[in-house]
Amino acid sequence: MNKRVILKQRPDGIPKKEDFEVRIDALQLPLKQGEILVKVEWISADPAQLVWISGVKSYMPPVRIGDTVRAFGVGLIVNSHAAGFKVGTYVSGLLGWQEYCKVHVSKVEKIPMNVNPTLFLGIFGMTGFTSYIAIKVLGKIKKKQVVVVSTAAGAVGSVAVQIAKAEGCKVIGITGTASKIQWLKDIGISDVINYKTENVASSLKTLCPEGIDLYLDNVGGEMLDAVLLNAKKGARMILCGAIQSYGQKKAQPLYLYPLVISKSLKMKGFIVTDYQNKFDEGFRYLESLYKQGNLKYKEDVVDGLENAHTALQKLARGQNDGKMLIKVLHEAPKL
């Protein structure tokens, strides 16, 4: 049997318990050629999920009502009908909110056994790759440039600020609580703006009077406006998320986009899955940073599929403390 969580109705704003339903179904076995059965151990909660369940057309189709909630996860192969994918190996992929996932091996990636598998949902997964693509591939940062990152203490942001710091940039993080500011200081980012208590535009002006070279935006709206106001001529704005607008009827408006003209700015949005050809170099880069002790991370864990929705609530409210994960609790098999 397989316990899974389906989308019962589209959330109105921040997802609620009632938007989801736990189902217990029989697994459609046996496996076909090329398929594996994965015991899902960890599920990733990402801002993009808020878009997927909202019904808004995006780079992936919305999760349909009645379907298992789409999510990245890692798990152990417990049955295999595919050469090279042995039982007892860890894999990652879009495994969904469920205990077991039957999947074709073309949809998953093998994970090395000598590293904590949750890292492949965080710093060595889509999260880390997103930061790498944004800062190194699209951001093309150079030593001593001024880099600003919003949701800097978040899963993507905290990797991004550490990359920029390792590359010799002046890094400014934007975040919203005292504990997040402390965590950023712990990982070596001393210039931090608390957007809840400070005027972001004027704090940026003070911290970087010469202007900003690169902004990694996960927020949009007035925070993007504040950065546009302080952007250097020719600066790059890498748009990676717009968490302020997810689950809202209408995005937070942007007013200062005419500065894109007068300051010759470049604004580039991207979806990490379009850069799969960069994942190998990204992994090597991130792994080397990690081994040097320059890539720290934090995890915030919710226990059990029944509570998976609370992970999305914490993300949407900015209440998560590190990479948001759901630990799947498998009941002991009945004897």
- Binding site residues, a second copy, CB under 8 A: 51, 58-59, 220, 224, 233, 239-242, 245, 250-251, 253-271, 274
Q: Which is nearer to a second copy, 40 or 238 (CB)?
A: 238
Residue 252 Cβ vs a second copy, minimum distance, rounded to whole Å: 8
Q: Which two tokens stand for residue 144?
A: 């001593």
What is the distance between the terminal CA atoms of the chain, rounded to a whole angstrom? 15
DSSP codes of every residue in 81-110:
-STT--TT-EEEE---SBSEEEEEGGGEEE
Residue 241 Cβ vs a second copy, minimum distance, rounded to whole Å: 7
Residue 286 Cβ vs a second copy, minimum distance, rounded to whole Å: 22
State the pairing for strand pair 90-93/20-25.
unpaired
Q: Which is nearer to a second copy, 22 or 259 (CB)?
A: 259
Cβ contact 127:323 at 8 Å:
yes
Q: Which two tokens stand for residue 306?
A: 């029944």
- Residue where the block lists tokens 């217990």: 24
Q: Which is nearer to a second copy, 246 or 297 (CB)?
A: 246
Residue 253 Cβ vs a second copy, minimum distance, rounded to whole Å: 3
Q: Which is nearer to a second copy, 59 or 142 (CB)?
A: 59
Find the helix or strand (DSSP H, E) in which 80 lies. Answer: strand 73-80
State the pairing for strand pair 170-175/299-303.
unpaired
Residue 299 Cβ vs a second copy, minimum distance, rounded to whole Å: 25
Q: Which is nearer to a second copy, 59 or 182 (CB)?
A: 59
Residue 263 Cβ vs a second copy, minimum distance, rounded to whole Å: 7
Find the helix or strand (DSSP H, E) in which 47 lies. Answer: helix 47-52
Q: Which residues pair with 174 in a beta bridge?
A: 150, 193
Question: What separation in angstroms does the CA of 124 have from each of 38, 155, 232, 279, 288?
Answer: 20, 11, 32, 9, 11
Find the helix or strand (DSSP H, E) in which 287 lies. Answer: helix 279-291
Residue 268 Cβ vs a second copy, minimum distance, rounded to whole Å: 5
Q: Which is nearer to a second copy, 126 or 242 (CB)?
A: 242
Cβ contact 139:236 at 8 Å:
yes
Q: Which is nearer to a second copy, 27 or 256 (CB)?
A: 256
Q: Which two tokens stand for residue 54?
A: 């909202």
Residue 111 Cβ vs a second copy, minimum distance, rounded to whole Å: 27
96: left (phi over 0), alpha (psi -120 to 50) or beta: left
Q: Which is nearer to a second copy, 70 or 165 (CB)?
A: 70
